[in-house]
Structure 1
Amino acid sequence: MVDHFYIKGFIHFGISGNTNSSLSIGDVSIPKQFANTGLWDWLKPNATIPSNDVAQLDFKNYNVPKEGNNSLGRVGYSPEQFYSEAGEPNTPQQRLWFQVSNNWLHLATSLEGMELEQCVNATLCLDYKPKVVVGLRGSTANTFLDNAAYRDFIFQTFGVSSADMESTAVVMTSLSNGYPVIVVRGLSDLAGAQEGQNSIDLFGPLAATNVANVVIQFVKKLSEESYSRS
């Protein structure tokens, strides 16, 4: 796209799991930062975590009963190696967090308070009004998260409020090439905190509708801002 089209920036959007208990299904999150929480050093039970890893998950902490080791060992969370046109040639930066564009994020705050859809159809509705939230953190990994214990772990360890499978890559690529970027995610499920089956099949369409409506309004705001500056 960058090679063949005149790109001004990237608006990435989709649905995601909700890892923050203060948020709800149907809400739309516009995070300020993203981390790739799927870049692991998977180690033996008593191995030393590499010095550049930023966090660790020790599986024995989740044993039932509590005593003893766990053959799965432990996981160390590695930072990304980030190359940028603004950085030194062929010299990566070690980075965990990738910040979306501040001016676009500031513009997105004007969408807080926007009315969102509450019903999937005439017979399936939420019993609350979804909201737009700007400025939290998001995580990306190449796994679909539907596990309450791990949901709590990544929220407590990284402070992330959403979990998806694409956003960090989009933000990294945009920043690496010097383009503004923002991410908008609709919360479709509780990432394992629910009782029974995951709700993505029920409320995924609602989350997708809400995130699409927010993106449409953001594009309008962006166009108005660009016109006012011209």
Structure 2
Amino acid sequence: MILQNAASTILRPVLGTLGGMALCVIGQGAQAEPALPDTTPRSAVVSAFQPEWLALQANLEDRREHVVNGTVFLTGTIEAKPVVLFLSGISMVNAAMTTQLALDRFTIDRIVFSGIAGGVDPDLKIGDVVVPSAWSQYLEAVFARETPGGYQLPPFADRSANFGMIFPQSVEIARGKAEPERKTWFPVDAKLLEVAKATAAATELAQCTADNRCLSHRPKVVVGGNGVSGQAFVDNKAFREYTARTFDASVLDMESAAVAHVAYANGTPFIAFRSLSDLAGGGDGENEMQTFFQLASENSAAVVRAFLKAMP
């Protein structure tokens, strides 16, 4: 989400093209040298933009930096658990690309997304951390033809609940030798969700930014519900309400469903922790992402650290 919700001006470029992939490892004070792919089983911990990534790096031990064609992967441990940290980049395409790259180059047992997002559920507030149990893509869609009799869809499209001309559709996925299947929802791994539930109540979340701008409420962790992702930064009240009605969504962003899609296609367990930096157009004033993205990033990272610590 994110960001749902992060501005591209904040993001430092970290992505390279994938043609002619090369993996190197950079040691302290050493030049880049070719290396074999990392073979240690790890949790892939993914963030979309720099503040989210840096919040996790503060607790990374035994750090090693791997560069795959311009994309930086950091291996080491957090809470004594082997991890590989990397930036997905903002957007569904970037997130899918970098996640598959990580799966191809590292030995990954599970994928954990840590980042910020826009809140959809009116019961949620800025700073809360949401851990949805399933993700969908609201812009995997047909933009329908408008006729005097209403919107006309092509024969292959489903007449789903629409937002004007936008009719969301399922996506076809190829998996190995099996027949392609169509999916609308990508479930989070049930065992990972149980670990998240067990650690949620014990995690202390920040209420104030570094410059003492404080929320009027104590943020909380909510496990369960639905998340949606798409290729748009949403700051629109009507669309926020539409995603709540149509998808029963709690949160929306710009990456999680893409990562869930890749994880599903590869048979890799997935979970996402998203802290609300804004309300996706639901607030009374201007979008508050710029004010609270750092607090939200740190809250998400705090829950992810507790989650990793609790992992077997």
Q: TM-score, normalised by structure 1?
A: 0.85
Match of 1:69 in 2: none
Match of 1:53 in 2: 158
Q: Deviations over 1:173-227 (max 9, x none)?
A: 11111111111111110100112210000011111010011111111111xx2xx
Match of 2:173 in 1: 82
Match of 2:112 in 1: 11
Match of 1:71 in 2: none
Decide whether aligned partners of structure 1 residues 43 and 130 sit closer, same or farther in structure 2, where only a CA change above 3 A counts. Answer: same
* Alignment partners' CA distance in 2, 1:220 and 1:196: 38
Secondary structure (helix, strand or coil) at the match of 1:15 reads strand
Structure-to-structure mapping, 1:63-82, within 5 angstroms: 74-82=165-173
Stretches of structure 1 lacking an aligned partner (at least 5 in a row): 60-73, 226-230
The alignment status of 1:216 with 2:311, answered yes or no, reads no
Partner letter of residue 23 of structure 1? L
Moved over 4 A (4+): none
Contact conserved, 2:118 with 2:251, CA < 8 A, in 1? Answer: yes
Decide whether aligned partners of structure 1 residues 163 and 130 sit closer, same or farther in structure 2, where only a CA change above 3 A counts. Answer: same
The structure with more strand, counted as a fraction of residues = 2
Partner letter of residue 264 of structure 2? L
Secondary structure (helix, strand or coil) at the match of 1:172 reads helix
The alignment status of 1:128 with 2:217, answered yes or no, reads yes
Higher RCO (Cα < 8 Å, 6 or more apart):
1
What is the CA-CA distance between 1:111 and the residue it aligns to? 2.1
Secondary structure (helix, strand or coil) at the match of 1:150 reads helix
Match of 1:117 in 2: 206
Q: TM-score, normalised by structure 2?
A: 0.63
* Alignment partners' CA distance in 2, 1:3 and 1:192: 38
Structure-to-structure mapping, 1:104-183, within 5 angstroms: 104-113=192-201, 114-183=203-272
Count residues with an aligned counterpart.
206
Decide whether aligned partners of structure 1 residues 181 and 58 sit closer, same or farther in structure 2, where only a CA change above 3 A counts. Answer: closer
CA RMSD of aligned residues (A): 1.5
* Alignment partners' CA distance in 2, 1:170 and 1:220: 23
The percent of aligned pairs where both chains have the same amino acid is 33
What is the CA-CA distance between 1:36 and the residue it aligns to? 0.5
Secondary structure (helix, strand or coil) at the match of 2:109 reads coil
Secondary structure (helix, strand or coil) at the match of 2:161 reads strand
